[in-house]
Structure 1
Amino acid sequence: MNRKLLALPAVVAMIAPVLTACGGSSGDSATGGATIVVGTTDQIVATKDEEAPLDPAASYDIAGWNVLGNVFQTLLSYPRTGTTPVPDAASHCGFTDRASETYACDLRPGLQFSNGDPLTSSDVKFSVDRQIAIADPNGPSSLLDNVDRVETQGASRVVFQLKTPDTTFPFKLATPAAAIVDHQVYPAKKTYTGYRLVGSGPYSLTSWKAGDQAVFTANSHYKGAFTINNARIDLRFFKDSAAMVAALKAGSIDLTNRTMTPQEIAGFQDNTSDKYDLVEAPGAEIRYLVFNMKDPTVSQLAVRKAVAQVVDRQALVRDVYARTSVPLYSMVPQGIVGHTNSFFDLYHDPSVTAARQTLQAAHITLPVTLHMSYTTDHYGESTAAEFSELQRQLQASGLFKVTLKGVPWSTYDPDVIKGDYSVYGMGWFPDFPDPDSYLGPFFGKDTFLGNSYDNATIEKQIIPAERKVANRGSLTADFEQAQQIIAEQIPFLPLWQGRQYLAAKSDITGTEWALNASSQMQFWELGRGVSQ
């Protein structure tokens, strides 16, 4: 009978403080001769607007980070269980002051890049300085914008001086934003275009054919925290999930990663065959609408409030996602410190009557025309059905006339940054498993959302204050206040929180560990055992 494996929790209600991180085992290899073939519907394509989709300075989405996290090392990384980063390229890290403004790491001895170049503290400094200097609009440099300067002390010690206290800094060092690149290969002030990678992580990227297949081989130079359980990963790209699932059942791939449709997930849940396992992991992903505050229609609070009063999340997750996701009433999801039901508390169950009163009180002519946009090829095939359902709900109220526009991600992402859309759908996987990762990236100058929204209370008070606190579990009130502000002003409208699913042949081992605390794929956990 088909087994349903529940991965150990990747998202927890209380996240332990990270003042020091020490220990960590060396990266002993247990690769043998195993090759594992992973299927995905993610597409990573170099375009005119994004010429360097695999440069850590330019990549800031789950598809890219699934690759970067396996090829590049970071000073810290996530263990199999828990959310506290452990040393990877580092042997020891920790704050050296009480104010949480100085953070130091000592490197493991003998580190090398996959091309044989030595990895020293100079490469770490170069990598962080480079990320900040390039500041690619599509990249994750905002995660490191609190770094004042990076200092080296000999070849093996690096010290980060922060502009303001930040107890979340160790989490940020565990993301691909802090990936260590070879200063002899990567240019200091521009991105490394194309599909070439030189890192010191568990794998070397040996070939890449866009839209077809990428090959990762175990990096013999790797010295870090993790054991590599296979010799090679073949990552196959599929245009749709039907082709990916068919390939699994035909035996040409060993497991699926992102993304299956709810119906395909249900098919594996109901399957009585012993050939496959379905692995369910707690979901850190959220999906939400963004309102462009420069748009003359949705810049009116009454319009945004009326949308919030009409949208039926229960119907959305039932009819489109077959309950493989759950309704979300806060930008901070369930299982994370600071989660509330702020949108439900303010707007209650969907009510056309309440929405009509809201619009009439603001003297807004009905119906309101809304232009809604979504990406056709980045968040899964159900996205189109999701927006059709949102359109149906809003138009059924008689209060809105909704036009829909589906756009490929290669065009959609740069258009979002430029502020070209009025109401648009976005998804979010956390940079790291902390409530700050559901708050900080959405606020401040020139965010990736392009919606021209600022809030001084959140940006100047709440975020700086919460980053001073090591005991993250004590911050409930701070994050609840932020969620209340978001619910009152509605720059974003949370829709649902997803679960993560992998389908694999029954002889594939390590699937329960394959997704880390930020839902990124860890290839090294996968191995091959005995089929049932």
Structure 2
Amino acid sequence: MAVALIAVVAVIAAYFLLAPKAPRVKNVIVIGTTDNVQTTLDPCEAYDYLGVNIIQNMGEGLFAYEPGTAKLVNKLAVSYTVSPDRKVWDIKIRTDAKFQDGTPLTAQAVVWSWERTIKLNQDPAFLIGDLIEKAEAISSDTVRVYLKQPFEETYVKSLLATWVAFPVNPKTTPMDVVKPPNTVDMIGPYKLASWKPGEYIELVANPNYYGEKPKTERVIIRFYKDAQSLRLAVENGEVDVAFRTLSPADVKDIMAKGALQVVSGPGIAPIRYMVINVNKEPFNDKRVRQAIAYLIDRNQIVNTVYMGTFAQPLYSMVPIGFLGHKDSFKERYGDKPNVQAARQLLVQAGFSESNPLKMELWYTPVRYTPAEPDIAAIIKQNLEVSGMIKVDLKSADWATYRSLFKQEKIAVWLLGWFPDFLDSDNYVRPFYHSGANGWLHVNYKNPTIDKLIDEQVLQPTEQRIKTLAQIQDIAAEDAPIIPLWQEGQFAVAQKNVKGIVLDYSQIFRYWLIYAEVSG
């Protein structure tokens, strides 16, 4: 008996000695980017990709996208009921959730947060301001929401999942926008530890978070001036992950070398497009805008700059793969430049080879891709092939660029769009609806398209697809915005980094990322 017991003990001991040990994990991850926070880390105001993404790592809403999918799941909500007329929602919230300072989440805090966002009325406020007529706390754990219209269920949940709907702590949050280097108290995996604008942001795990703890205790987001510096940093091991933005050529070269890993995701971030201020002469003449649409060669951009791999031509502001997508610009203008059609329109608008249209095309060189000057040069070449357009390329850093188009000092410029939520409405309303496109300063107003955009969010799927097609056809005819291409997502990381998820939500989830260390 004793001999048998000794044998069993020996076997168990051998198992623990010989079994592979669970890998150790670094307690800090460094993420490098050429992006920057453009305004604040206050959910009521932030409306740039990085600012919003950091907020999405420090806070959460009643609903959220399940990682790796486009599926909406309950988050701070535990259940909900919808009235028969679809205009009143009762949402029961978690009772175990706390803000960073330990204050329990209540329905009153949710309502106060939404009212603050709507009252302060910053750029993204429309996301819930156009949805909610009124909200009230009918108990400490139940929010009653009165909608402005009987919106479709998934559409409502999508909007309540956006960062502008994240609860903030009424005890510590002022009724003003919180400016850098501070933020507000939210409920999420991380909290802000320090922020030196232009250099880095440091996040640490939130000890009062009710959910699963982050894989890595500390995350440092370090800012780099350009793609070359960022590539050097990741190749030298200075950063664990490089995300937004390396050039397509850099990514291809890194993939070929094999020393680092490249993680890819679905191609809707961003979609790229040209904006034309329709109040500026001669672009207030639709024929001029249509001539430009005839001349753009999307395939040349995709094949030259993106090597036919990292992007695809886009002929609608609604991305490929989204509900109701229709290649309206392709149907209206073709998939190749039509110089003859463009010249005819330019002649009708009063231009000729001896009296060419002289225009500026503006771009910002770093925000979207380091290849932006090459893209602008291709578009210049496309337009000048007509023999009736002369293009002067102009560029500015993002802060200056943003001011220029907001102050309407420029007429034609290139932009990119990252979705606020995963619905086709988010690709038509912010651009074409006169009540929502003020941020863009395109000055496009069309009562017919406004009506159709308002109708489509109330319609069953089949009817909605038809209405979305009408919207896209009208937008192609009027051409205030010209869709160009849509890109994939890519993160470059050290080989020991795990947990990177790039999906349709466009949320870069720091809390899932970790780096294994040996020993």
TM exceeding 0.5: yes
Work out the CA distance in 2 between the residues paired with 1:529 and 1:480.
48
> Residue 162 in 1 paired to residue 151 in 2?
no
> Residue 304 in 1 paired to residue 300 in 2?
no
Work out the CA distance in 1 between the residues paired with 2:302 and 2:465.
27
Work out the CA distance in 1 between the residues paired with 2:274 and 2:465.
24
Map 1:133-148 → 2, pairs under 5 A:
133-136=119-122, 138-148=123-133
Percent of aligned pairs with the same residue?
A: 31
Q: Give the corresponding residue for 1:88.
A: 75
Map 1:25-424 → 2, pairs under 5 A:
34-45=27-38, 50=39, 53-94=40-81, 96-136=82-122, 138-167=123-152, 168-188=155-175, 190-197=176-183, 198-224=185-211, 228-271=214-257, 273=258, 275-284=259-268, 285-323=270-308, 324-348=310-334, 349-365=336-352, 366-424=355-413
Q: Give the corresponding residue for 1:21.
A: none
Work out the CA distance in 1 between the residues paired with 2:395 and 2:113.
36
Q: Which moved more, 1:284-293 or 1:118-127?
A: 118-127
> Residue 504 in 1 paired to residue 493 in 2?
yes
Letter in 2 for 1:35: V
Work out the CA distance in 2 between the residues paired with 1:521 and 1:304.
36
Q: Give the corresponding residue for 2:476.
A: 487
Work out the CA distance in 1 between the residues paired with 2:463 and 2:421.
18
Shift of 1:302: 0.8
Aligned residues of 1:283 and 1:519 also touching (Cα < 8 A): no
Distance 1:473 1:260, change over 3 A: farther
**2:440 counterpart SS class:** coil
Distance 1:31 1:212, change over 3 A: farther
Letter in 1 for 2:80: C
Structure 1, unmatched stretches of 5+, are 1-29
Letter in 1 for 2:439: F
Letter in 2 for 1:320: V
Work out the CA distance in 2 between the residues paired with 1:326 and 1:357.
29
**2:96 counterpart SS class:** coil
Q: Give the corresponding residue for 2:453.
A: 463
Matched positions, count: 487
Aligned residues of 2:457 and 2:464 also touching (Cα < 8 A): no
Letter in 2 for 1:395: E
**1:483 counterpart SS class:** helix
Aligned residues of 2:58 and 2:188 also touching (Cα < 8 A): yes
Distance 1:516 1:102, change over 3 A: farther
The structure that has the greater radius of gyration is: 2
Letter in 1 for 2:327: N
Q: Give the corresponding residue for 2:8.
A: none
Distance 1:141 1:465, change over 3 A: closer
Shift of 1:313: 0.6
Q: Give the corresponding residue for 2:417.
A: 428
Letter in 2 for 1:529: E
Aligned residues of 1:100 and 1:468 also touching (Cα < 8 A): no
The TM-score, its normalising length taken from structure 2, stands at 0.89
Across the aligned residues of Structure 1 and Structure 2, the Cα RMSD in angstroms comes to: 2.1
Q: Give the corresponding residue for 2:3.
A: none
Work out the CA distance in 2 between the residues paired with 1:354 and 1:111.
61
- Give CA deviations for 1:283-321 in whole Å, capped at 9, x if unaligned: 112000111111011111111011011111111112223
Shift of 1:227: 5.2
- Give CA deviations for 1:149-174 in whole Å, capped at 9, x if unaligned: 11111211112111112221210111
Greater helix share, structure number:
2
Q: Give the corresponding residue for 1:453.
A: 444
Work out the CA distance in 1 between the residues paired with 2:88 and 2:209.
28
Q: Which moved more, 1:379-388 or 1:213-222?
A: 379-388
Distance 1:140 1:150, change over 3 A: same
